[in-house]
Amino acid sequence: MDLAIVAHAAEAGRNAEALQALHPSFPTEAPPRFDVERLARIPDVSRETRADCVACPLFRFSRCGGEDGQSASSTYLDMSRLSYTTHTAAARRAIRHPKEWSDYVMVICSGRAVSSITLPDGRRQVLSILLPGDVVCASSLFEPISGYAADAITDVTYRRFNRSEFKALLSKNYGLFERLAKMWAEESERADQLALDLGRRRADERVARFILNLAERLARRGMAYGQTMDFPLRQRHIADATGLTAVHVSKVLGEFQRLGMIKIHDRSLTIVDESELRRVGAPH
């Protein structure tokens, strides 16, 4: 779930040096591809934004007054009042423990993570791959929740916002609520599609769709280089996301590569034959 606006807007009006100190890894997340024309199309915001914000993925990939034409200026300014703290988690460490009932909402700033549910016997379902700008657990925006784990895949930086502050802001700002409602709808659809995938699609379809989905989400953030993307995921992650075993994922991926549909190399993935991948990814 993109709540990029929350995290980004908090950034506005703060000191660039301080930000650099807080999370030096920020600018390295994606190659700096400053799209000046696009920025110019974003009303109000661009004029008030510091250079470091432009490099911040939470800004660049937000739909905060972006292309979709939402009126964002007032929302944007209001949200800058939210306070946050910035944290890091090393690769393979927990960002959020399943039993936690936290008063905070967490947003990923850089790196990759997974959110998942695990059964006592170890079976695990990952609900989503978390990318920069994603809220760690969407339903935690309004209520403290438990039962969800979030784990860093790569080194991750994230920010914690105070939930009650956020809600207080929300109560005064219907525009923000509108955006949230849209996000809810998207989030629900993603969850429903996941159920469809897990309940009714075969292994190769699931894996193909998983890759395509990830590619699209990255592309939307400008984090894809042509048909190539960073791919730090272990096959275990893919397996838990698609409801398969890691062994079977290995076989499916191997087959995809043998058929020339994708290429995986050195922690990056290239979609070679997109149309074929889409065909396997099957009936929309």
Partner DNA sequence: CGGGCAATTGAAATACATCAAGGCGTGTGG
Partner DNA sequence: CCACACGCCTTGATGTATTTCAATTGCCCG
- Point out which residues bind DNA (CB under 7 A): 92, 202-204, 234-236, 243-248, 250-251, 253-254, 264
- Binding site partner of 162, from DNA, a second copy, none, Cβ cut-off 5-8 A by kind: none
Site string for a second copy, 105-124 (x = CB under 8 A): ------------x-xxx-xx
Partners of 104 in the β-ladder: 162
92 touches a second copy (CB under 8 A): no
Instruction: Output the smallest distance, CB 84 to DNA, in A.
Output: 30
CB of 262 to DNA, least distance (A): 11
**108, 212 contact by CB (below 8 A):** no
As given in the structure block, the two tokens for residue 175 are 């525009």
Nearer to DNA, 75 or 154 (CB): 154
Q: How many other C-beta atoms are found inside a 10 Å radius of the C-beta of residue 155?
A: 16
Residues 236-255 close enough to bind a second copy by CB under 8 A: 240, 242-243
134: DSSP letter: B
Closest listed residue to residue 252, CA positions, set 223, 224, 211: 211
Number of residues that bind a second copy (CB under 8 A): 46
Out of DNA, a second copy, none, what residue 203 binds, judged by CB under 5 to 8 A for its kind, is: DNA
C-beta separation of 43 from 73 below 8 A: yes
Residues 174-203 binding a second copy (CB under 8 A) are 174, 177-178, 181-182, 184-185, 187-189, 191-196, 198-201
Tell how strand 149-152 and strand 94-96 pair up. antiparallel
Task: Provide the sign of the torsion angle of the four alpha carbons 270, 211, 67, 172, taken in this order.
Answer: negative
